[in-house]
Amino acid sequence: MDFYKLALLGHPLGHSRSPEMHARALEHCNLKGSYELIDIEENELETTLVRLKKEGYAGLNVTIPYKEKIIPLLDTVPGPPLQVGAVNTVLIEKGNATGYNTDIFGASVVILDFFKDVSRLSNIRALILGSGGAAKACVYALQQLNCKKICISSRNREKGEQIVKQYSTDKMEISFDPFLCSGNWSGLLNPEQFTLLINATPLGQATKNPLQAEYFDGLLTLLSKDVCVFDMVYASGHQKETPLVSAANKRGLEACDGTLMLAEQAAQAFQIWTGKKVSPEVMLGRSI
């Protein structure tokens, strides 16, 4: 392909680092192309996808709130993305749109980085805030890593309970708590049992309403001092770190935001579109 037309679909998109990352990847691989932010309302999703296919776009990323909504509009959704019920990457070839989920890989990399000790990895007990596409990708990744226990906390009872129904097995206990994500942390039973906290919501995103680190203090106080904290939100704009990471650091907890996951999933998406492999360091503009 002489020119790769790439884009990100979602709303809102003002915080996105994707254009700069994919511009680096294109330059690194000596490829010509562009990467646009296409901020659309939900009622524009179908017509926008049809338009982009006609205009010769090679690939798309999909972010909140369309990772689940785009699935019925795609021509093919193979394997894990269909099982997860969320797509964040779309390959367009000869007018056909195929959905992928590179969030699964990105989440796995971060979790494995936390739990390098095999004995710890085999005993992960995770508390996940959120019930959307990002949360589903994390649950799927944890299931592949033989996680023992997951608790989903979400304001949306229907979606949370659907995840429980979909992923419950004899080998992995999964439950739902509808109150935690509203800031009512006091109802959490046996909080010290968790070894991993994942924020799979937009809470703390720079483009959202300001959120103070103190919002998470009540939850972090309840959790074990050995818990690892993975905030899928990444610092952007004026932020030096996300509110959750800031609160975790104050407690001396091991914590990271979503920057590494962002770079890992972006690198895999770029490879799907172009066939070229790039490192997350290239995506982030770091020397290797």
Residue of 4, 9, 44 whose CA lies nearest to 25: 4
Side chain identity, residue 242: T
Query: In Å, how far from its chain's centre is CA 95?
Result: 27
Residue of 15, 33, 13 whose CA lies nearest to 25: 33
Catalytic residue among 5, 53, 67, 159: 67
Cβ-in-10-Å burial (0-12, 13-18, 19+) of 7 comes to buried
Alpha helices in 148-210 (DSSP H): 157-167
Residue of 96, 155, 147, 110 whose CA lies nearest to 126: 147
Instruction: Decide if 201 contacts 181 (C-beta within 8 A).
Output: yes
Catalytic: 116? Answer: no
E strands present in the chain: 4-10, 33-39, 59-62, 89-93, 96-100, 125-129, 149-153, 173-177, 196-199, 228-231, 254-256
Instruction: Decide if 204 contacts 242 (C-beta within 8 A).
Output: yes
Distance CA(43)–CA(21), nearest Å, equals 28
Q: Enumerate the active-site residues.
A: 67
